[in-house]
A and B are shown apart, each in its own frame.
Chain A
Protein backbone atom coordinates (compact mmCIF):
# COMPACT_ATOMS: atom_id res chain seq x y z
CA UNK A 1 0.00 0.00 0.00
CA UNK A 2 2.61 2.46 1.13
CA UNK A 3 4.83 1.70 -1.77
CA UNK A 4 2.27 2.62 -4.36
CA UNK A 5 1.64 5.97 -2.75
CA UNK A 6 5.30 6.68 -2.52
CA UNK A 7 5.71 5.83 -6.15
CA UNK A 8 2.91 8.22 -6.87
CA UNK A 9 4.56 11.08 -5.01
CA UNK A 10 7.91 10.26 -6.53
CA UNK A 11 6.50 10.55 -10.01
CA UNK A 12 5.05 13.89 -9.04
CA UNK A 13 8.25 15.15 -7.56
CA UNK A 14 10.20 14.00 -10.57
CA UNK A 15 7.90 16.07 -12.73
CA UNK A 16 8.33 19.08 -10.50
CA UNK A 17 12.02 18.97 -9.86
CA UNK A 18 13.58 21.07 -12.59
CA UNK A 19 11.38 24.15 -12.38
CA UNK A 20 10.05 24.37 -8.86
CA UNK A 21 12.38 22.73 -6.45
CA UNK A 22 13.85 25.92 -5.17
CA UNK A 23 10.59 27.78 -4.93
CA UNK A 24 8.92 25.03 -2.89
CA UNK A 25 11.88 24.39 -0.63
CA UNK A 26 13.04 26.22 2.47
CA UNK A 27 11.73 26.05 6.01
CA UNK A 28 8.03 26.54 5.23
CA UNK A 29 7.15 22.87 4.68
CA UNK A 30 8.69 21.89 7.99
CA UNK A 31 6.57 24.51 9.72
CA UNK A 32 3.45 22.99 8.20
CA UNK A 33 4.28 19.45 9.27
CA UNK A 34 5.71 20.55 12.61
CA UNK A 35 2.59 19.61 14.62
CA UNK A 36 2.91 16.04 13.42
CA UNK A 37 6.67 15.88 14.05
CA UNK A 38 6.23 17.20 17.58
CA UNK A 39 3.31 14.89 18.32
CA UNK A 40 5.15 11.93 16.85
CA UNK A 41 8.18 12.47 19.07
CA UNK A 42 6.23 13.24 22.23
CA UNK A 43 3.31 10.84 21.94
CA UNK A 44 4.60 7.99 19.76
CA UNK A 45 8.34 7.64 19.22
CA UNK A 46 9.32 8.69 22.74
CA UNK A 47 6.78 6.41 24.44
CA UNK A 48 7.64 3.60 22.01
CA UNK A 49 11.34 3.66 22.89
CA UNK A 50 10.61 4.30 26.53
CA UNK A 51 8.35 1.26 26.68
CA UNK A 52 11.22 -0.82 25.32
CA UNK A 53 13.44 0.53 28.10
CA UNK A 54 10.80 -0.05 30.78
CA UNK A 55 10.49 -3.65 29.65
CA UNK A 56 14.00 -4.32 30.99
CA UNK A 57 13.14 -2.98 34.45
CA UNK A 58 11.08 -3.91 37.43
CA UNK A 59 9.08 -0.70 37.30
CA UNK A 60 6.17 -0.26 39.69
CA UNK A 61 4.25 2.99 39.28
CA UNK A 62 5.38 4.11 42.75
CA UNK A 63 8.42 2.67 44.45
CA UNK A 64 11.87 1.49 43.51
CA UNK A 65 12.87 1.00 39.90
CA UNK A 66 15.34 -1.84 39.33
CA UNK A 67 17.15 -2.91 36.20
CA UNK A 68 16.57 -6.62 35.69
CA UNK A 69 17.73 -7.17 32.12
CA UNK A 70 15.68 -9.67 30.15
CA UNK A 71 14.08 -11.14 33.29
CA UNK A 72 10.61 -9.90 32.31
CA UNK A 73 10.88 -11.73 29.00
CA UNK A 74 12.31 -14.88 30.59
CA UNK A 75 9.55 -14.84 33.19
CA UNK A 76 6.94 -14.39 30.47
CA UNK A 77 8.04 -17.36 28.43
CA UNK A 78 9.10 -19.79 31.13
CA UNK A 79 7.15 -19.11 34.27
CA UNK A 80 3.80 -17.53 33.51
CA UNK A 81 0.86 -19.78 32.67
CA UNK A 82 -1.42 -16.72 32.39
CA UNK A 83 0.73 -15.34 29.59
CA UNK A 84 0.33 -18.49 27.51
CA UNK A 85 -3.31 -18.86 28.43
CA UNK A 86 -4.19 -15.32 27.35
CA UNK A 87 -2.11 -15.61 24.20
CA UNK A 88 -3.89 -18.84 23.29
CA UNK A 89 -7.33 -17.29 23.94
CA UNK A 90 -6.43 -14.36 21.69
CA UNK A 91 -5.19 -16.62 18.91
CA UNK A 92 -8.37 -18.70 19.11
CA UNK A 93 -10.42 -15.51 19.00
CA UNK A 94 -8.47 -14.23 15.99
CA UNK A 95 -8.80 -17.57 14.18
CA UNK A 96 -12.58 -17.34 14.50
CA UNK A 97 -13.03 -13.59 14.17
CA UNK A 98 -10.80 -12.73 11.21
CA UNK A 99 -12.21 -15.14 8.57
CA UNK A 100 -15.81 -14.71 9.73
CA UNK A 101 -15.45 -10.96 9.73
CA UNK A 102 -14.20 -10.93 6.16
CA UNK A 103 -16.74 -13.43 4.83
CA UNK A 104 -19.70 -11.70 6.49
CA UNK A 105 -18.59 -8.19 5.53
CA UNK A 106 -18.02 -9.29 1.93
CA UNK A 107 -21.35 -11.15 1.82
CA UNK A 108 -23.28 -8.13 3.08
CA UNK A 109 -21.43 -5.82 0.71
CA UNK A 110 -22.30 -8.09 -2.22
CA UNK A 111 -25.95 -8.05 -1.20
CA UNK A 112 -25.88 -4.25 -0.99
CA UNK A 113 -24.13 -4.02 -4.34
CA UNK A 114 -27.18 -5.47 -6.12
CA UNK A 115 -29.54 -2.98 -7.70
CA UNK A 116 -32.21 -2.75 -5.04
CA UNK A 117 -34.63 -0.14 -3.88
CA UNK A 118 -33.91 1.46 -0.53
CA UNK A 119 -30.29 0.42 -0.51
CA UNK A 120 -29.52 3.44 1.70
CA UNK A 121 -31.89 2.03 4.34
CA UNK A 122 -30.26 -1.41 4.28
CA UNK A 123 -26.81 0.12 4.32
CA UNK A 124 -27.79 2.17 7.37
CA UNK A 125 -29.22 -0.91 9.10
CA UNK A 126 -25.98 -2.85 8.71
CA UNK A 127 -23.85 0.10 9.72
CA UNK A 128 -25.90 1.26 12.71
CA UNK A 129 -24.25 -0.96 15.36
CA UNK A 130 -20.80 0.39 14.40
CA UNK A 131 -21.91 3.88 15.31
CA UNK A 132 -22.72 2.95 18.87
CA UNK A 133 -20.02 2.90 21.53
CA UNK A 134 -18.40 -0.36 22.60
CA UNK A 135 -19.78 0.15 26.09
CA UNK A 136 -23.36 0.42 24.82
CA UNK A 137 -22.79 -2.62 22.58
CA UNK A 138 -21.53 -4.60 25.53
CA UNK A 139 -24.57 -3.63 27.60
CA UNK A 140 -26.93 -4.69 24.83
CA UNK A 141 -25.17 -8.03 24.35
CA UNK A 142 -25.02 -8.84 28.04
CA UNK A 143 -28.80 -8.66 27.87
CA UNK A 144 -29.11 -10.62 24.62
CA UNK A 145 -26.95 -13.43 25.99
CA UNK A 146 -28.66 -13.68 29.37
CA UNK A 147 -29.33 -17.34 30.15
CA UNK A 148 -32.72 -16.81 31.75
CA UNK A 149 -34.40 -14.03 29.83
CA UNK A 150 -32.14 -13.18 26.89
CA UNK A 151 -33.63 -12.85 23.41
CA UNK A 152 -31.12 -15.27 21.93
CA UNK A 153 -32.35 -18.10 24.10
CA UNK A 154 -35.92 -17.01 23.44
CA UNK A 155 -35.36 -17.49 19.69
CA UNK A 156 -33.73 -20.85 20.27
CA UNK A 157 -36.66 -21.89 22.45
CA UNK A 158 -38.98 -21.25 19.50
CA UNK A 159 -37.18 -24.16 17.84
CA UNK A 160 -37.30 -26.22 21.01
CA UNK A 161 -33.64 -25.64 21.86
CA UNK A 162 -32.58 -24.93 25.41
CA UNK A 163 -29.77 -22.39 25.01
CA UNK A 164 -26.82 -22.22 27.41
CA UNK A 165 -25.99 -19.32 29.68
CA UNK A 166 -23.75 -17.97 26.95
CA UNK A 167 -21.37 -15.73 28.84
CA UNK A 168 -21.06 -18.02 31.83
CA UNK A 169 -20.43 -21.19 29.91
CA UNK A 170 -16.78 -21.89 29.11
CA UNK A 171 -17.78 -23.69 25.91
CA UNK A 172 -19.65 -20.70 24.49
CA UNK A 173 -18.21 -17.56 26.06
CA UNK A 174 -15.53 -17.03 23.39
CA UNK A 175 -17.97 -17.69 20.55
CA UNK A 176 -20.36 -15.21 22.13
CA UNK A 177 -17.55 -12.69 22.19
CA UNK A 178 -16.80 -13.28 18.50
CA UNK A 179 -20.44 -12.76 17.52
CA UNK A 180 -20.73 -9.57 19.58
CA UNK A 181 -17.53 -8.25 17.96
CA UNK A 182 -18.74 -9.07 14.47
CA UNK A 183 -21.93 -7.12 15.04
CA UNK A 184 -20.12 -3.80 15.26
CA UNK A 185 -18.03 -4.20 12.11
CA UNK A 186 -20.00 -2.23 9.56
CA UNK A 187 -17.07 -0.17 8.38
CA UNK A 188 -15.42 -3.21 6.82
CA UNK A 189 -18.59 -3.85 4.88
CA UNK A 190 -18.53 -0.26 3.58
CA UNK A 191 -14.91 -0.67 2.49
CA UNK A 192 -15.80 -3.83 0.59
CA UNK A 193 -18.77 -2.05 -0.94
CA UNK A 194 -16.51 0.71 -2.19
CA UNK A 195 -14.20 -1.96 -3.64
CA UNK A 196 -17.04 -3.76 -5.39
CA UNK A 197 -18.33 -0.53 -6.87
CA UNK A 198 -14.89 0.05 -8.33
CA UNK A 199 -14.97 -3.08 -10.49
CA UNK A 200 -15.52 -2.10 -14.13
CA UNK A 201 -18.78 -3.49 -15.50
CA UNK A 202 -17.21 -4.53 -18.81
CA UNK A 203 -15.19 -7.22 -17.01
CA UNK A 204 -18.44 -8.97 -16.11
CA UNK A 205 -19.77 -8.47 -19.61
CA UNK A 206 -16.73 -9.98 -21.26
CA UNK A 207 -16.79 -12.82 -18.73
CA UNK A 208 -20.39 -13.65 -19.51
CA UNK A 209 -19.66 -13.46 -23.25
CA UNK A 210 -16.98 -16.04 -22.54
CA UNK A 211 -19.74 -18.13 -21.04
CA UNK A 212 -18.92 -17.75 -17.36
CA UNK A 213 -21.83 -18.26 -14.97
CA UNK A 214 -22.47 -16.19 -11.85
CA UNK A 215 -20.36 -18.42 -9.63
CA UNK A 216 -17.50 -18.50 -12.11
CA UNK A 217 -17.73 -14.70 -12.42
CA UNK A 218 -17.52 -14.36 -8.65
CA UNK A 219 -14.31 -16.37 -8.47
CA UNK A 220 -12.65 -15.12 -11.66
CA UNK A 221 -13.69 -11.47 -11.67
CA UNK A 222 -15.03 -10.28 -8.33
CA UNK A 223 -12.55 -11.94 -6.00
CA UNK A 224 -9.37 -11.11 -7.99
CA UNK A 225 -10.50 -7.51 -8.44
CA UNK A 226 -11.08 -6.94 -4.73
CA UNK A 227 -7.98 -8.74 -3.46
CA UNK A 228 -6.34 -5.40 -2.54
CA UNK A 229 -9.39 -4.58 -0.41
CA UNK A 230 -9.31 -8.07 1.11
CA UNK A 231 -5.65 -7.53 2.00
CA UNK A 232 -6.46 -4.23 3.72
CA UNK A 233 -9.37 -5.74 5.64
CA UNK A 234 -7.37 -8.82 6.56
CA UNK A 235 -4.61 -6.79 8.15
CA UNK A 236 -6.93 -4.40 9.99
CA UNK A 237 -8.96 -7.41 11.24
CA UNK A 238 -5.88 -9.12 12.62
CA UNK A 239 -4.83 -5.95 14.44
CA UNK A 240 -8.39 -5.47 15.75
CA UNK A 241 -8.52 -9.07 16.99
CA UNK A 242 -5.33 -8.65 18.98
CA UNK A 243 -6.46 -5.37 20.49
CA UNK A 244 -9.91 -6.53 21.54
CA UNK A 245 -10.32 -5.30 25.08
CA UNK A 246 -13.41 -3.18 25.72
CA UNK A 247 -15.91 -5.97 25.14
CA UNK A 248 -13.99 -8.42 27.29
CA UNK A 249 -13.65 -5.94 30.16
CA UNK A 250 -17.36 -5.24 30.14
CA UNK A 251 -19.00 -8.50 29.04
CA UNK A 252 -17.13 -11.19 30.92
CA UNK A 253 -14.21 -9.58 32.72
CA UNK A 254 -12.14 -12.38 31.23
CA UNK A 255 -14.21 -15.20 32.68
CA UNK A 256 -15.61 -17.76 33.09
CA UNK A 257 -12.45 -19.62 34.10
CA UNK A 258 -10.39 -17.17 32.00
CA UNK A 259 -11.97 -18.50 28.80
CA UNK A 260 -12.22 -14.95 27.43
CA UNK A 261 -9.10 -13.59 29.10
CA UNK A 262 -7.53 -11.84 26.11
CA UNK A 263 -3.88 -10.96 25.81
CA UNK A 264 -4.71 -7.23 25.73
CA UNK A 265 -6.64 -7.68 28.95
CA UNK A 266 -3.73 -9.44 30.62
CA UNK A 267 -1.54 -6.52 29.58
CA UNK A 268 -4.05 -4.01 30.87
CA UNK A 269 -4.35 -5.77 34.23
CA UNK A 270 -0.61 -6.13 34.65
CA UNK A 271 -0.19 -2.39 34.16
CA UNK A 272 -3.19 -0.84 35.87
CA UNK A 273 -4.30 -3.48 38.35
CA UNK A 274 -1.02 -4.98 39.55
CA UNK A 275 1.07 -1.91 38.57
CA UNK A 276 3.76 -4.10 36.99
CA UNK A 277 4.61 -1.51 34.35
CA UNK A 278 7.84 -3.17 33.22
CA UNK A 279 6.29 -6.58 32.83
CA UNK A 280 3.29 -5.18 30.99
CA UNK A 281 5.59 -3.26 28.65
CA UNK A 282 7.37 -6.53 27.86
CA UNK A 283 3.96 -8.07 27.12
CA UNK A 284 3.13 -5.15 24.85
CA UNK A 285 6.36 -5.49 22.90
CA UNK A 286 5.79 -9.16 22.40
CA UNK A 287 2.30 -8.46 21.06
CA UNK A 288 3.74 -5.81 18.79
CA UNK A 289 6.17 -8.40 17.42
CA UNK A 290 3.43 -10.97 16.85
CA UNK A 291 1.27 -8.47 14.99
CA UNK A 292 4.27 -7.29 12.99
CA UNK A 293 5.22 -10.85 12.01
CA UNK A 294 1.64 -11.73 11.10
CA UNK A 295 1.28 -8.56 9.04
CA UNK A 296 4.59 -9.25 7.35
CA UNK A 297 3.54 -12.82 6.51
CA UNK A 298 0.24 -11.61 5.11
CA UNK A 299 2.05 -9.00 3.00
CA UNK A 300 4.54 -11.59 1.80
CA UNK A 301 1.82 -14.06 0.88
CA UNK A 302 -0.15 -11.27 -0.80
CA UNK A 303 2.35 -11.24 -3.65
CA UNK A 304 0.84 -14.57 -4.63
CA UNK A 305 -2.82 -13.71 -4.32
CA UNK A 306 -3.31 -9.95 -4.57
CA UNK A 307 -3.81 -8.52 -8.04
CA UNK A 308 -3.44 -4.83 -8.64
CA UNK A 309 -5.53 -3.14 -11.24
CA UNK A 310 -2.60 -2.29 -13.47
CA UNK A 311 -1.77 -5.95 -13.97
CA UNK A 312 -5.45 -6.85 -14.25
CA UNK A 313 -6.04 -4.40 -17.07
CA UNK A 314 -3.20 -5.82 -19.04
CA UNK A 315 -4.47 -9.34 -18.49
CA UNK A 316 -8.07 -8.55 -19.32
CA UNK A 317 -7.01 -6.73 -22.45
CA UNK A 318 -5.03 -9.76 -23.48
CA UNK A 319 -8.03 -11.89 -22.71
CA UNK A 320 -10.29 -9.58 -24.69
CA UNK A 321 -7.95 -9.61 -27.64
CA UNK A 322 -7.68 -13.38 -27.50
CA UNK A 323 -11.48 -13.60 -27.29
CA UNK A 324 -11.97 -11.30 -30.26
CA UNK A 325 -9.36 -13.18 -32.21
CA UNK A 326 -11.24 -16.37 -31.50
CA UNK A 327 -14.52 -14.89 -32.65
CA UNK A 328 -13.29 -13.51 -35.94
CA UNK A 329 -11.16 -16.56 -36.66
Chain B
Protein backbone atom coordinates (compact mmCIF):
# COMPACT_ATOMS: atom_id res chain seq x y z
CA UNK B 1 0.00 0.00 0.00
CA UNK B 2 1.48 3.38 -0.94
CA UNK B 3 1.71 6.09 1.75
CA UNK B 4 -0.83 8.13 -0.19
CA UNK B 5 -3.51 5.50 0.05
CA UNK B 6 -3.29 5.42 3.84
CA UNK B 7 -3.81 9.18 4.00
CA UNK B 8 -6.76 9.35 1.65
CA UNK B 9 -9.92 8.12 3.27
CA UNK B 10 -11.64 5.46 1.24
CA UNK B 11 -15.04 6.15 -0.16
CA UNK B 12 -17.88 3.78 0.64
CA UNK B 13 -21.20 3.45 -1.07
CA UNK B 14 -24.27 2.16 0.65
CA UNK B 15 -28.04 2.38 0.67
CA UNK B 16 -30.11 4.18 3.28
CA UNK B 17 -33.84 3.60 2.94
CA UNK B 18 -33.20 2.47 -0.62
CA UNK B 19 -31.35 5.66 -1.50
CA UNK B 20 -27.82 5.26 -2.89
CA UNK B 21 -25.42 7.38 -0.84
CA UNK B 22 -21.68 7.77 -0.54
CA UNK B 23 -19.61 8.20 2.58
CA UNK B 24 -16.03 8.36 3.75
CA UNK B 25 -14.57 5.45 5.65
CA UNK B 26 -15.25 5.76 9.36
CA UNK B 27 -18.29 8.03 8.97
CA UNK B 28 -21.28 7.07 11.07
CA UNK B 29 -24.64 6.05 9.61
CA UNK B 30 -26.32 8.93 11.44
CA UNK B 31 -24.13 11.61 9.84
CA UNK B 32 -24.41 10.16 6.37
CA UNK B 33 -28.18 9.94 6.73
CA UNK B 34 -28.41 13.57 7.83
CA UNK B 35 -26.23 14.70 4.94
CA UNK B 36 -28.81 13.12 2.67
CA UNK B 37 -31.81 14.64 4.34
CA UNK B 38 -32.81 11.53 6.25
CA UNK B 39 -33.54 12.35 9.88
CA UNK B 40 -32.91 9.72 12.53
CA UNK B 41 -34.11 10.68 16.03
CA UNK B 42 -31.56 11.06 18.83
CA UNK B 43 -31.51 12.44 22.35
CA UNK B 44 -28.10 11.59 23.77
CA UNK B 45 -26.21 12.40 20.57
CA UNK B 46 -25.08 15.98 19.96
CA UNK B 47 -22.76 17.17 17.22
CA UNK B 48 -19.39 18.06 18.69
CA UNK B 49 -19.59 15.58 21.57
CA UNK B 50 -18.56 11.93 21.50
CA UNK B 51 -21.43 9.59 20.76
CA UNK B 52 -22.31 7.00 23.39
CA UNK B 53 -25.29 5.15 21.93
CA UNK B 54 -27.23 5.38 25.18
CA UNK B 55 -30.73 6.65 24.34
CA UNK B 56 -31.28 3.94 21.71
CA UNK B 57 -33.60 6.16 19.67
CA UNK B 58 -31.30 6.07 16.65
CA UNK B 59 -31.40 2.28 16.30
CA UNK B 60 -31.63 1.23 12.66
CA UNK B 61 -31.94 -2.03 10.80
CA UNK B 62 -29.02 -3.24 8.70
CA UNK B 63 -29.66 -6.00 6.22
CA UNK B 64 -27.95 -9.24 7.18
CA UNK B 65 -27.65 -8.29 10.86
CA UNK B 66 -30.30 -9.58 13.23
CA UNK B 67 -29.42 -6.97 15.84
CA UNK B 68 -30.54 -3.35 15.67
CA UNK B 69 -27.59 -0.99 15.48
CA UNK B 70 -27.24 2.53 16.91
CA UNK B 71 -26.72 4.85 13.94
CA UNK B 72 -24.69 7.35 16.00
CA UNK B 73 -21.79 4.96 16.61
CA UNK B 74 -22.04 2.46 13.77
CA UNK B 75 -19.57 3.08 10.96
CA UNK B 76 -20.68 2.75 7.37
CA UNK B 77 -19.57 -0.25 5.39
CA UNK B 78 -19.41 -0.87 1.68
CA UNK B 79 -22.67 -2.22 0.33
CA UNK B 80 -24.55 -1.77 3.60
CA UNK B 81 -28.34 -1.59 3.34
CA UNK B 82 -29.77 0.53 6.13
CA UNK B 83 -33.43 1.04 7.03
CA UNK B 84 -34.08 3.94 9.38
CA UNK B 85 -37.83 3.59 9.80
CA UNK B 86 -39.88 0.43 9.97
CA UNK B 87 -42.92 -0.57 11.92
CA UNK B 88 -40.70 -2.25 14.48
CA UNK B 89 -38.35 0.71 14.87
CA UNK B 90 -41.20 3.20 15.19
CA UNK B 91 -42.80 1.05 17.85
CA UNK B 92 -39.58 0.74 19.84
CA UNK B 93 -38.93 4.48 19.59
CA UNK B 94 -42.39 5.25 20.91
CA UNK B 95 -41.83 2.83 23.78
CA UNK B 96 -38.44 4.36 24.62
CA UNK B 97 -40.07 7.78 24.77
CA UNK B 98 -42.88 6.47 26.93
CA UNK B 99 -40.34 4.88 29.26
CA UNK B 100 -38.48 8.18 29.52
CA UNK B 101 -41.68 10.05 30.33
CA UNK B 102 -42.62 7.44 32.93
CA UNK B 103 -39.25 7.63 34.65
CA UNK B 104 -39.32 11.10 36.25
CA UNK B 105 -41.67 14.08 36.37
CA UNK B 106 -41.84 15.49 32.87
CA UNK B 107 -44.71 17.93 33.24
CA UNK B 108 -44.40 20.22 30.26
CA UNK B 109 -46.98 22.78 31.35
CA UNK B 110 -44.83 24.04 34.20
CA UNK B 111 -41.42 23.53 32.57
CA UNK B 112 -39.00 26.35 31.71
CA UNK B 113 -38.21 24.54 28.47
CA UNK B 114 -41.80 24.03 27.36
CA UNK B 115 -41.78 24.46 23.60
CA UNK B 116 -37.99 24.33 23.40
CA UNK B 117 -37.44 20.83 24.68
CA UNK B 118 -35.90 17.97 22.67
CA UNK B 119 -37.82 15.34 24.62
CA UNK B 120 -41.11 17.14 24.12
CA UNK B 121 -40.37 17.70 20.45
CA UNK B 122 -39.45 14.07 19.98
CA UNK B 123 -42.69 12.93 21.62
CA UNK B 124 -44.69 15.22 19.35
CA UNK B 125 -42.82 14.05 16.25
CA UNK B 126 -43.54 10.44 17.17
CA UNK B 127 -47.22 11.00 17.76
CA UNK B 128 -47.04 10.16 21.41
CA UNK B 129 -50.38 11.02 22.98
CA UNK B 130 -50.16 9.26 26.30
CA UNK B 131 -47.93 7.08 28.44
CA UNK B 132 -49.11 3.53 29.06
CA UNK B 133 -46.54 2.77 31.74
CA UNK B 134 -47.10 3.78 35.34
CA UNK B 135 -45.29 6.98 36.30
CA UNK B 136 -42.53 6.20 38.76
CA UNK B 137 -42.34 9.69 40.32
CA UNK B 138 -39.14 9.31 42.30
CA UNK B 139 -38.22 12.09 44.73
CA UNK B 140 -35.28 13.65 42.93
CA UNK B 141 -35.02 17.21 44.17
CA UNK B 142 -33.72 20.46 42.73
CA UNK B 143 -30.27 21.98 43.16
CA UNK B 144 -30.56 25.75 42.99
CA UNK B 145 -27.35 26.48 44.88
CA UNK B 146 -25.55 27.85 41.81
CA UNK B 147 -25.59 31.61 41.39
CA UNK B 148 -26.75 31.51 37.78
CA UNK B 149 -28.16 28.07 37.02
CA UNK B 150 -30.59 25.49 38.34
CA UNK B 151 -30.51 21.72 38.14
CA UNK B 152 -33.88 19.98 38.35
CA UNK B 153 -33.21 16.26 38.57
CA UNK B 154 -36.87 15.51 37.98
CA UNK B 155 -36.51 16.59 34.36
CA UNK B 156 -33.20 14.82 33.69
CA UNK B 157 -33.14 11.96 31.18
CA UNK B 158 -29.53 10.92 31.99
CA UNK B 159 -28.33 11.51 28.42
CA UNK B 160 -25.00 12.67 29.90
CA UNK B 161 -24.62 15.53 27.44
CA UNK B 162 -23.74 17.82 30.38
CA UNK B 163 -21.15 15.29 31.59
CA UNK B 164 -19.56 15.08 28.15
CA UNK B 165 -19.56 18.79 27.29
CA UNK B 166 -18.00 19.65 30.64
CA UNK B 167 -15.35 16.98 30.24
CA UNK B 168 -14.66 17.15 26.52
CA UNK B 169 -15.16 20.84 25.68
CA UNK B 170 -14.76 22.81 28.90
CA UNK B 171 -12.22 20.37 30.33
CA UNK B 172 -13.53 20.79 33.88
CA UNK B 173 -15.26 17.44 34.40
CA UNK B 174 -17.50 18.94 37.05
CA UNK B 175 -20.39 16.68 36.11
CA UNK B 176 -20.60 12.95 36.49
CA UNK B 177 -23.15 10.25 37.17
CA UNK B 178 -23.64 8.55 40.50
CA UNK B 179 -25.63 5.45 41.32
CA UNK B 180 -26.89 2.62 39.20
CA UNK B 181 -29.98 1.84 37.13
CA UNK B 182 -33.07 3.76 38.16
CA UNK B 183 -31.14 5.30 41.05
CA UNK B 184 -28.59 6.94 38.76
CA UNK B 185 -28.44 10.73 38.80
CA UNK B 186 -26.04 13.45 37.66
CA UNK B 187 -23.81 15.03 40.26
CA UNK B 188 -21.37 17.92 40.45
CA UNK B 189 -17.95 17.09 41.88
CA UNK B 190 -18.36 14.50 44.62
CA UNK B 191 -22.08 15.07 44.86
CA UNK B 192 -21.69 18.47 46.47
CA UNK B 193 -24.12 21.31 45.87
CA UNK B 194 -23.40 22.84 42.47
CA UNK B 195 -22.95 26.26 44.03
CA UNK B 196 -20.09 24.95 46.16
CA UNK B 197 -18.31 23.21 43.30
CA UNK B 198 -14.57 23.86 43.23
CA UNK B 199 -14.25 22.82 39.60
CA UNK B 200 -17.25 24.49 37.94
CA UNK B 201 -16.23 27.46 35.81
CA UNK B 202 -19.82 28.67 35.51
CA UNK B 203 -19.41 28.60 31.74
CA UNK B 204 -22.96 27.34 31.27
CA UNK B 205 -22.16 24.91 28.46
CA UNK B 206 -23.97 22.13 30.32
CA UNK B 207 -27.10 24.26 30.47
CA UNK B 208 -27.01 24.97 26.76
CA UNK B 209 -26.58 21.33 25.69
CA UNK B 210 -29.20 19.89 28.05
CA UNK B 211 -32.07 18.54 25.92
CA UNK B 212 -34.75 19.21 28.53
CA UNK B 213 -35.49 21.70 31.28
CA UNK B 214 -33.27 19.81 33.72
CA UNK B 215 -30.58 22.46 33.44
CA UNK B 216 -31.75 26.03 33.10
CA UNK B 217 -30.72 29.60 33.75
CA UNK B 218 -32.07 31.22 36.88
CA UNK B 219 -34.85 33.73 36.41
CA UNK B 220 -36.39 31.96 33.45
CA UNK B 221 -40.08 31.26 33.71
CA UNK B 222 -42.27 28.67 31.97
CA UNK B 223 -41.37 28.24 28.29
CA UNK B 224 -38.65 30.91 28.39
CA UNK B 225 -35.55 28.73 28.38
CA UNK B 226 -34.23 28.40 24.86
CA UNK B 227 -30.88 26.73 24.32
CA UNK B 228 -27.96 27.50 22.02
CA UNK B 229 -26.15 24.37 20.99
CA UNK B 230 -24.47 25.49 17.77
CA UNK B 231 -21.28 26.44 19.61
CA UNK B 232 -20.36 22.85 20.42
CA UNK B 233 -19.55 21.66 16.87
CA UNK B 234 -17.91 25.05 16.26
CA UNK B 235 -15.62 24.68 19.26
CA UNK B 236 -14.79 21.11 18.33
CA UNK B 237 -13.99 22.15 14.78
CA UNK B 238 -11.78 25.03 15.93
CA UNK B 239 -9.82 22.73 18.21
CA UNK B 240 -9.33 20.18 15.48
CA UNK B 241 -8.08 22.93 13.16
CA UNK B 242 -5.40 23.83 15.69
Are A and B co-members of a single complex? no
Residues of A whose CB lies within 8 Å of any CB of B are none
